[in-house]
Structures are given as C-alpha cells and as structure tokens.
Amino acid sequence: MSVVIGDIHGCVEKVQAFLAYKPEEEHIALGDIVDSPFEPPSRQMECLNLLFDAGTVLLWGNHDIQYANLLAYPCSRNIQNSPVAQVVLENQHRFMAAYSADGYILTHAGVCTQISNGCSDPVVLAGLLNNRLAAHRALINSARDAGEISVDSRDPIFNVSRHRGGWDEYSGIFWFDPFCEDTLDRGLRQIYGHCEINKKPGLDEFGHINLNYNGRDTCYLFDTKMDDVVKINFCPMDKDELEDLYFCQVTRRLRGDYYNTFWLEEWNSRGDSSADRD
C-alpha cells in the first residue's frame, strides 16, 4: 500500500504530518514540493531534506522541474537566483515523471489520452513515461552541448495548453488541467494534483482523484490500502513569523524575486536544516 500527498509548496508542517501517518508504509509526493509566494527558501529546502531522509517517492511537478533545465515552461521569475534550484538540481535523480501504486497511475497533473496513447496498464505506462523523461534529458543535454538546443526538442509530456498560458493543443503530465481540458484518460485510475481545489477530495466515477487541497492547517492524504482519503490536521507556522522569515530571505522587487544570500551562507556554514529556526 501507499500513502500519497498532493502539492506541498514548502509547508514543513504538512510534510511532517504526511510522514507521520503510517511511517512504515511507502509515501509518495505528487510534485510541486517547492515554490511558494509565502514559504521562504529555507523551509522549502527543509521540506526536500525531510522527504529525502524518509525515502519518499518523489514525482516532478511543474514548479520543481523548472529547476532541472529540461525546457519545462518556467513557473516563477528569476528562478536562476533561487537557492532552492541548487538543491533540486543536485538531487534530480530522486525524482520521477510517473509512478504506479495499487492499480493507480500517479503523475503531477494527470495523464491525457494523447499522452497515454492507449496504454491501460499503470505499471507499463509509468515505465514508459519515465523512459520518455530519461530520453528527453539525454536529447536536451546532447543538444545543449552542441549549442543546438531548441524548444522544438521538447517531449509532449512537457506540453502546456493555451488554457495554462502555453501554445500546445493539449497539456502533458506536468501541466494538464482537468477543469479546462476534457481528455484526461478515463480508462486509467489516476491520482494527481496540480489544479487547486477547496473542498475535500474524493474519487470520481472513473477512479480519479485530485489531492491538491488548499488548506492552511489541513491536508488530505490518499491511502491506497483503504482506497480512500484521510484528513490530517497540523499546526502551521504563525503567519506573522512566516512573513518575517520570508522577507528576511527574499527581497521583492518590481521585476521579480531576488534572494538575500546572508541567511543561505549561514545555512550552509551550519550544515543542517535548523538555521532558519534561530
């Protein structure tokens, strides 16, 4: 069995609650682990370290994969200045495009029919999607070395439809929007996140569930053994303290986010994830 969580976006307390639920079982995070206009970089990196240490299965989200230089459309401005990017790049081998668990296919945003291309076996499909990501990475690296990189080299799994600000006919597994696109593969049982919801998630008639619930002190996990959602409450960091910490680490300017490096030097010099707590 597996325990699955949707978009985390740097919330440390959410990660702690997730990992505390049935810690003996496999845990899977559906991507968008990092990036937030509220969570400072130190907490985003703490989330990553907690998940790394726990051996969590990590899927790429559109906010995570933008740091991997794989031609995903960027979600944030000035991403090259983000200290989170270095952590993601150094650990990109830990992330996957897709995963299968107990008859479900798991991706960040869902698999449309154009991407699944008739494959109805979640184990086989997860392998195919991960192979496509690996082949894409090899192609991009080769093109980059030759100075011939082009957006035309992008695999369709990276597609962004017009509904999400792109130019493609349909979206791939990092950007699909089931609220605006109608080709989510109904022949597959799917667990995904990406598109935010504001009510308790639940399985629909096709065996699909969106776990990207927006709650400051509550999250919903999916327990594949129970085949149902589990509500988890947690105590988030005080809003004022969180805001102070954010603006200590990030200086907002008109043309994007610029990162204060003083705290990062302190973090690195101490070599642990407690530097942001002092």
Give the domain ranges of the chain.
Answer: 2-237
Burial of 190 (0-12, 13-18, 19+ CB in 10 A): buried
Q: In CATH, what number does 2-237 get?
A: 3.60.21.10
Strands 218-223 and 228-233: antiparallel
Hey, what amino acid is at 118?
G
Determine what percent of the chain falls in helix, strand and coil, rounding each to the nearest 5.
35, 20, 45
Q: What is the mean pLDDT of each run of 10 residues along the chain (278 residues)?
A: 96 97 97 92 95 98 90 73 87 97 98 97 98 92 74 83 90 96 97 96 97 93 96 95 89 64 64 43
CA distance 14 to 192: 17
Hey, what amino acid is at 245?
L
Helix (H) or strand (E) holding 233: strand 228-233
Question: Which residue's structure tokens are 């109805």?
Answer: 120
The answer to whether residues 33 and 58 touch, using CB atoms and an 8 Å cutoff, is: yes
pLDDT of amino acid 152 = 62
